[in-house]
Amino acid sequence: MSETAMTIFVCGSCKSGDDGDARPGQRLIEALSSRLAGPGSGIELRSVDCLAVCKRPATISFVAPGKWTYVIGDIDVDAHIDDVISAARAYAESETGVVAWKQRPMFFRKGVIGRVPPL
């Protein structure tokens, strides 16, 4: 994957219910940035102000031209970082964006909020 195969949008504005000042999306962005840095990952990472899923932080979206888009919530930054990366790679490699159920890490299986068809 030398060119951008997909984008992960990360909601940076949601606050954690346990700690009103904590922004788990910001922590996720930092963790993903260090892991996806450098040329050739094929995965672009972008922070967005709001994905309108405030009760399920941290929330991300997998997006690529011509593919289904997924919105996924309830991501635990400490527990799911490796799974987010492997799910993103599986999404990027999929022709349609639909990742087989068996290939989806548990956070992906349980956290899907919505799936939007490609244009």
Coil, strand, or helix at residue 40? coil
Task: Note whether residue 1 is domain-resident.
Answer: no
Q: Which of 119, 8, 108, 7 is nearest to 67 (CA)?
A: 119
The answer as to whether 75 is a domain residue is yes
Task: Say if 103 falls within a structural domain.
Answer: yes
* pLDDT grade for 22, boundaries at 50, 70 and 90: confident
Residue 115 CA, distance from chain mean position: 13
- Containing structural domain, residue 13: 6-116
* CATH assignment at residue 21: 3.40.30.10
What's the total number of domains in the chain? 1
In a domain, 34, yes or no: yes
Whether residue 40 lies inside any domain: the answer is yes
Supply the pTM of this predicted model. Answer: 0.90
List, in order, residues 6 or more apart from 104 with CB less than 8 Å away.
Answer: 87, 90
For the chain, what percent of residues have pLDDT higher than 90? 75
Coil, helix or strand at residue 51 = coil
| Long-range contacts (CB closer than 8 Å, 24 or more residues apart) made by 51-55 | 51/9, 51/11, 51/14, 53/11, 53/14, 53/113, 54/14, 54/15, 55/17
Percent of the chain at pLDDT > 70 equals 91
pLDDT at 35 exceeding the cut of 80: yes
Residue 49 forms part of a structural domain = yes
Side chain identity at 81, as an amino acid letter? I
